Structure 1
Amino acid sequence: MKDHIFNIHDVILLMTAAECILLAIFQAVLPAKNKASSILLTIFLLSVAVSATCVLMLWNNNVRFFALFDHTLLPYFLTSSLLLKGAALYLYVRAITQESFAIDSKKLGHLIPVAIGILWLVIFKIDTHSLVWFRDSANPLPNKWAVDILWGAIKIVPLAYVIAAVWKVRKYVTQLENQYSHFSPTEPGWLSVLTYGFLFSWSLTLLVHIIAEFADPSISDTFGITDNYVGFILINALFTYSVVYAHQLLATKPEVIKEEKTDEKVTSQAIAKVQTGMEIQKLYLKHNLNIEEFSKRIELPIKDVSAVINKHYGTNFFEFMNKYRVEEAKRLLLDEKCAEMTVLDILLQAGFNSKSAFHRFFNRLVGVSPTEFRKQAQKA
């Protein structure tokens, strides 16, 4: 009765699998504004649950289902889930950041690595015994090289996808700056932290695989156990993010605004229209203005507006608008007629709708806080 079926590290894997299943069920019953992102998050959670269960069964002889699964089917479930989780995470990031995202036939191409992995298992007849003992020098496997390649693939493919997800988040922030005059940095900031977290975790997974080839098994075990704990934390963080923050993200339109590297010159007429919108119409005073609405107001195509701001002014839409707003705020702070106005009143009248964004921009562009700027002006 003193024998333990699980150690604490096995319990973490078991908890990860159980929690992922519960969160997937919870995600499925939640009212979803974005069905595509909900489906992809559910697929990701289930793939992590399956992979955690399979890893637990692979290394713990006390955990068994039935003979056919234990000896033959386990590699198929493990391989499929590990190759699927990276694609699911990457597509989830796209789904919550792109307005035009849809799950269509083109997305099925992301199942190709899974299909290749399954075919590889069939061709080389890789079973559970092969996955566990492929590094056993005393009893070398005849298909060891095939198992080596399989293990490498199921470590590298998810890592490649999470690198793509990190790049996508960075591109998303750039697109926000090109399309919106105001956005909260909190939601994309947390998304960036999460993707970098998975990048760290899955890089650690690959490192464990490499270390196991050359170092003492205890070292790779330590890294592997650490990876399990990190994964458990990240799963909880990702689900919390999906419930609390994901629905607040502003969607971008990558098909409308493209970073085209052309030698096309910006016309003086286009520049004049943008200047008119800013200096005559004072469109920067409008809260939550985006580039699509701005282009309609000045009757200039979005791509031309973007070209003027990016090439002629050398900045993005976000910075361009808020520089004008800061100048307006400075004017109001210096105006004796506005002496009774609070800083909050001034930031709202200048076109800002966020106190934190106003203070961040004002301090960066002016060098002092709005309150200090007003005090210095009054002393002069």
Structure 2
Amino acid sequence: MDRLSLLQGIARISVFVSLLMAFFLMTVKTENKLANRLFAWFFIVSAIDLSGFFVFDYIKDIFTLVIFRWTICLLAMPLFYLYVLSVCYSDFRLKWKHLVYLLPIIAVNLAFLPRLYLMNDSDQTKILEGIDQMPEIYFIQIVIECQYLFYIVSAFLILKKYREIYLENYTNPSTLIYKYLFQVTTVFLIAHCLVALKNLLRYSDYRQVFLWLNVFVGAVALFVTCWLVMKAMKYPELFKGINSKLQLAKDILPKAEENVQPVDVQDDVISSQISILKQYMAEKEPFLDPSLTIQELANQIDTPVRDLSILINHHMDQHFFDFVNEYRIQKAMQILKDHSKNDVTVLEILYEVGFNSKSSFNTSFKKYTNLTPTAYRNAS
């Protein structure tokens, strides 16, 4: 089998799997239908882009369709970026302003209009023979790289903010969303670096390397698509996001300090609030609720959530996540040291103290004690 046949075979499988993934996302039952549909369209666009390895001979006589297939990739990253937003933020909705993401593909196609779309059939056929050397193709490559850099950086910034907000407002957060999206974004970044390298080699003397790299990139695309299909089948609900209106304590703080009190009075007030909060945590043990949020705790102690957020995340210099888990770990340590409860398993203990994940419990326990729960029990 020659390289071209191998590449076309891989591309056909990749397109099939991508379309299968799109069908799955469109039909699976989930609360976050918008996220699924955006990701489904991302896979449809990717399938159209990948089809270029084998579909050219079938559409070369329809020049407009050839150009459309070349430029369709400019929709991929906007769709992926919107997907990240819709997964991270449960209240995300598409608005008219999001049509601005169509500007690159519109601009590129307008750039093609004078020279390509308006040509007669014979001129278009000649153009296809030397298409790689056309200024328009260089222009498209530059636009694609600039667009990709913008959206990949934006996606990582969204994930960074999402993680910070989650840690400041939730306890025992499922890091599944963050890890999943971070992994996907990183994989896409690596895959695109390979594609960029391939495109550079196209215009170099390493033509043979370019051809083999085409095969390798096709195989990577197939692997990534299959990996995402397996992820989607394992987690069909596609996770639960946070409210986009939540703010970080560092963003709330400047507003809260506009009517600041004298330093001595302020220190006394803060010390009193911290003391009351710690007393409530010790006596009422709200941390035993695995789904406890900062909003729920603020309601319980009758304090504005923004004040509680500043108190914990700024004045106590802890994330809400760490603040609550510290009490859970202390409770677990008490149980583990109690020899009368040696028959209680570690799994039972972690659920009893408010955790809902063994990995999360072990990570937090080792962070505070430098020991695993089992090692701590044996040493007590």
User: TM exceeds 0.5?
Assistant: yes
> Partners of 2:345 and 2:335 in 1: how far apart?
10
> Partners of 2:16 and 2:374 in 1: how far apart?
53
Relative contact order higher in (CA < 8 Å, ≥ 6 apart): 2
Deviation at 1:365, TM superposition (A): 1.1
Identical amino acids, percent of aligned pairs: 22
Report the CA distance shift for 1:25/1:258 in structure 2 as closer, same or farther (over 3 A): same
Q: Which has the higher helix share?
A: 2
Question: Partner residue of 2:54?
Answer: 56
Question: Partner residue of 1:20?
Answer: 18
Matches within 5 A, 1:106-185: 106-125=97-116, 130=127, 133-136=130-133, 144-185=134-175
> Partners of 1:361 and 1:94 in 2: how far apart?
28
Question: Partner residue of 1:39?
Answer: 37
Matches within 5 A, 1:291-330: 291-330=294-333
Deviation at 1:183, TM superposition (A): 2.8
TM-score under structure 1 length normalisation: 0.84
Question: What is the CA deviation profile of residues 49-107 of structure 1, one whole-angstrom value per residue up to 9, with x for unaligned ones?
Answer: 1111234345xxxx22362x2x333112320x200011111111221221111122122
Check whether the contact 2:92–2:244 (CA below 8 A) recurs between aligned residues. Answer: no
> Partners of 2:202 and 2:236 in 1: how far apart?
38
Question: Partner residue of 1:141?
Answer: none
Check whether the contact 1:166–1:192 (CA below 8 A) recurs between aligned residues. Answer: yes
| Matched residue type, 1:83 | L
Question: Partner residue of 1:204?
Answer: 194
Report the CA distance shift for 1:271/1:211 in structure 2 as closer, same or farther (over 3 A): farther
> Partners of 2:70 and 2:315 in 1: how far apart?
53
> Partners of 1:273 and 1:111 in 2: how far apart?
53
> Partners of 2:227 and 2:158 in 1: how far apart?
19
Question: Partner residue of 1:371?
Answer: 374
Deviation at 1:47, TM superposition (A): 0.5
> Partners of 2:201 and 2:304 in 1: how far apart?
55
> Partners of 2:46 and 2:230 in 1: how far apart?
16
| 1:257 equivalenced with 2:247 (yes/no) | yes
| 1:30 equivalenced with 2:28 (yes/no) | yes
| Matched residue type, 1:76 | F
> Partners of 2:13 and 2:60 in 1: how far apart?
21
Among 49, 70, 76, which residue is 2:68 paired with?
A: 76
| Matched residue type, 1:364 | K
320-329 or 146-155, larger mean C-alpha shift: 146-155
For this pair of structures, how many residues does the alignment match? Answer: 361
Question: What is the CA deviation profile of residues 29-61 of structure 1, one whole-angstrom value per residue up to 9, with x for unaligned ones?
Answer: 333422211221221111011111234345xxx
TM-score under structure 2 length normalisation: 0.84
Question: Partner residue of 2:77?
Answer: 86
> Partners of 2:218 and 2:28 in 1: how far apart?
27
Question: Partner residue of 2:262?
Answer: none
Question: What is the CA deviation profile of residues 78-137 of structure 1, one whole-angstrom value per residue up to 9, with x for unaligned ones?
Answer: 20x20001111111122122111112212222112121122122134366865762455x
| Matched residue type, 2:66 | L
Check whether the contact 1:75–1:128 (CA below 8 A) recurs between aligned residues. Answer: no
